[in-house]
């Protein structure tokens, strides 16, 4: 089990990143809430990880703190919620907001996330409620240094690709990014604002 990884951040292509650890490049998938807090490329990054072994792949998921990883691990134990959907959930909604949604039995907010139907949302509310008894809202501070804004056209394309990778339909991604885009925005800012538009919590 790989529980923590520290190295040099080589690439950031949400939701995928590449980390150099003593000459070995580790591909790690991260939720957008963690992506927003990543340092700049070529700087040191530390992530708590969850390692998944399948017949056809070995996948590493990274999180900015242990609380978020614990929530991810609780999510993927729910019937019908695999790692990909768990990543999508933690990309579309802040961990603290997810806890609030579950405690308030807010099925509607969960259904707005891609890949979650009413039955899955209801199951999440019922099965996650007991798992969140010890959860306390935390303020982990501001995000890490922001990414430098590329040309808006490139930022838009990267944002759309990231949203599609998270499970949104291409048409939805294009419309959401178009709705929030303005000159000077980075791909990170576009993704964050587009997710706010698509996920009403």
Q: Which residue has the higher pLDDT, 154 or 43?
A: 43
For 72, other C-beta atoms within 10 Å of its C-beta total: 23
Q: Which domain holds residue 32?
A: 4-63
Would you say 91 and 61 are in contact if contact means Cβ atoms under 8 Å apart? no
Distance CA 199, CA 154 (A): 24
Would you say 198 and 168 are in contact if contact means Cβ atoms under 8 Å apart? yes
- Same domain for 91 and 57, yes or no, is no
Q: Does 147 fall in a domain?
A: no
Reported as a single tens digit per residue, the pLDDT across 48-106 is 999 998 888 899 999 998 888 989 999 998 888 899 999 999 998 888 888 888 888 88
- Same domain for 9 and 52, yes or no, is yes
| pLDDT given for residue 2 in this prediction | 87
Chain-centre distance for alpha carbon 172: 18
- Same domain for 123 and 86, yes or no, is yes
Reported as a single tens digit per residue, the pLDDT across 10-19 is 999 988 999 9
Element (H, E) at 12: strand 4-13
Q: Does 144 fall in a domain?
A: no
CATH number, position 49? 2.40.50.140
Would you say 86 and 107 are in contact if contact means Cβ atoms under 8 Å apart? no
For 159, the 3-state DSSP assignment is: helix
Would you say 4 and 47 are in contact if contact means Cβ atoms under 8 Å apart? yes
- Take residue 22 and report the two structure tokens written for it: 């003593």
Query: Is residue 201 predicted with pLDDT exceeding 70?
Result: no
Q: Does 28 fall in a domain?
A: yes
Domain count, the chain: 3
Distance CA 140, CA 38 (A): 13
- Same domain for 59 and 80, yes or no, is no
Q: Does 141 fall in a domain?
A: no
Q: Does 18 fall in a domain?
A: yes
Q: What's the pLDDT band for 114 if we cut at 50, 70, 90?
A: confident
Query: Is residue 140 predicted with pLDDT exceeding 70?
Result: no
Among 133, 94, 93, CA closest to 116: 93
- Same domain for 44 and 14, yes or no, is yes
- Same domain for 77 and 124, yes or no, is yes
- Take residue 85 and report the two structure tokens written for it: 């959907």
CATH number, position 109? 1.10.150.20
Final residue of a structural domain among 63, 89, 109: 63
Where does 105-190 show beta strands of DSSP type E? none
């Amino acid at each position: 089990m790989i529980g923590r990884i520290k190295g040099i951040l080589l690439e950031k292509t949400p939701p995928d990143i590449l980390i150099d650890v003593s000459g070995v490049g580790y591909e790690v998938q991260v939720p957008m809430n963690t992506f927003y807090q990543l340092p700049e490329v070529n700087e040191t990054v530390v992530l708590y990880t969850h390692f998944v072994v399948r017949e056809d792949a070995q996948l590493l998921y990274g999180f900015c703190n242990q609380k978020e990883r614990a929530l991810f691990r609780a999510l993927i134990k729910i019937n019908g919620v695999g790692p990909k959907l768990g990543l999508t959930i933690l990309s579309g909604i802040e961990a603290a907001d997810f806890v609030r949604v579950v405690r308030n039995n807010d099925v509607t907010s969960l259904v707005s996330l891609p890949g979650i139907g009413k039955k899955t949302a209801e199951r999440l509310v019922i099965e996650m409620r007991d798992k969140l008894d010890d959860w306390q809202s935390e303020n982990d501070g501001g995000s890490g240094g922001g990414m430098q804004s590329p040309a808006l056209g490139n930022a838009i394309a990267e944002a759309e690709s990231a949203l599609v990778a998270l499970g949104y339909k291409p048409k939805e991604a294009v419309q959401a990014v178009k709705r929030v885009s303005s000159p000077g925005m980075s791909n990170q800012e576009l993704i964050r604002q587009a997710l706010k538009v698509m996920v009403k919590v």
